[in-house]
Amino acid sequence: MIVDAVTARYAEALYRLAAERGGLEAVRGGVEQLAAEIAEPRVSAFLFDARVPATEKRSRLERLTQTFHPLLRNLVGLLFDKHREEVLRGLGPAFRQRYLAGKGAVEGRVQSARPLSQADIDGLAGAVGKRISKEVLLENEIDADLVGGVRVLVDNRLVDHSVRGRLAGMRKRLSSARVLNA
């Protein structure tokens, strides 16, 4: 998941403040709810439309977040004050990533040609997690192009154990093989 530097800063500040004040779970729930709302095509079309005045966006969003944790409401106000409404777009994943990092966990993907059983996924998550000393939450993605094997992508790291990756590696090694005088 790509998190830009600005969004990461706001998410970090919100996380720390929520952790200090003891409202972490409430804030997390609020952020998730907000992210789900913003993900709605109609909401995002309205919220990120340059023609809609910021005051209108703000009042609508404030009405939407009325029941949320005060810290989250403050953040929304601050974002509008600083003309950083764009941050709302990536706030959900950024906060989630930070929240998981706080628990020593990280999300990742495991790509395979066929669906993996939950036991396989857990086994992989355990093995990869041991290597990077983090709890790994894996999601299975199907990519028939891999032919066989798995590719695990966690935390900008890749373990390629797929047939496609092996073939590519073999092709590279063969093409760069040393040529000897016969």
Partner 1 sequence: MDLRPAEVTSILKQEIESYQGETSMQSVGTVLSVGDGVARVYGLEDCMMNELLEFSGGVRGVALNLEEDNVGCVLLGSATEVTEGDEVRSTGRIISVPTGDALLGRVVNALGDPLDGRGPLAVTDDDYLPIEQPAPSVVERQPVSEPLQTGIKAIDAMIPIGRGQRELIIGDRQTGKTALIIDTIISQKTTGGGDPSNPEQVLCIYVAVAQKQSTVVDLVRRLEAAGAMAYTIVVSASAIDEASMQYLSCYAGASMGERFRDEGRHVAIFYDDLYKQALAYRQVMLLLRRPPGREAFPGDVFNLHSRLLERAAKLADNAPQINPRYKAGGGSMTALPVVETQEGDVSAYIPTNVISITDGQIFLEANLFNSGVRPAVNAGISVSRVGGAAQIPAMKKSAGGLRINLAQYRELQAFAQFGSDLDKATQATLTRGEKLVEILKQGQYAPVPVAEQVMMIHAGTSGSLDEVPTTRVGEFEEALLAHMRDAQPDVGAGILESGVLSDEAKAAIEEAVGVVRAQLGM
Residue 97 and residue 3 in contact, taking contact as beta carbons nearer than 8 Å: yes
Element (H, E) at 67: none
Using the rule CB under 8 A, is 133 a contact of partner 1?
no
Q: How far is CA 48 from its chain centroid?
A: 21
Judged by CB under 8 A, which stretch of 55-63, 106-114, 137-145, 149-157 contacts partner 1?
149-157
Q: Helix (H, G, I), strand (E, B), or coil: what is residue 23?
A: coil
Using the rule CB under 8 A, is 166 a contact of partner 1?
yes
Look-up of token digits 């959900």? 92
Distance CA 12, CA 27 (A): 13
How far apart are CB 27 and partner 1 at their closest, in Å? 23
How far apart are CB 96 and partner 1 at their closest, in Å? 17
Q: Exactly one of 8, 13, 43, 105 binds partner 1 (CB under 8 A); which one?
A: 8
Interacting residues toward partner 1 by CB under 8 A: 2-5, 8, 131-132, 153, 156-161, 166, 169-170, 173-174, 177-182
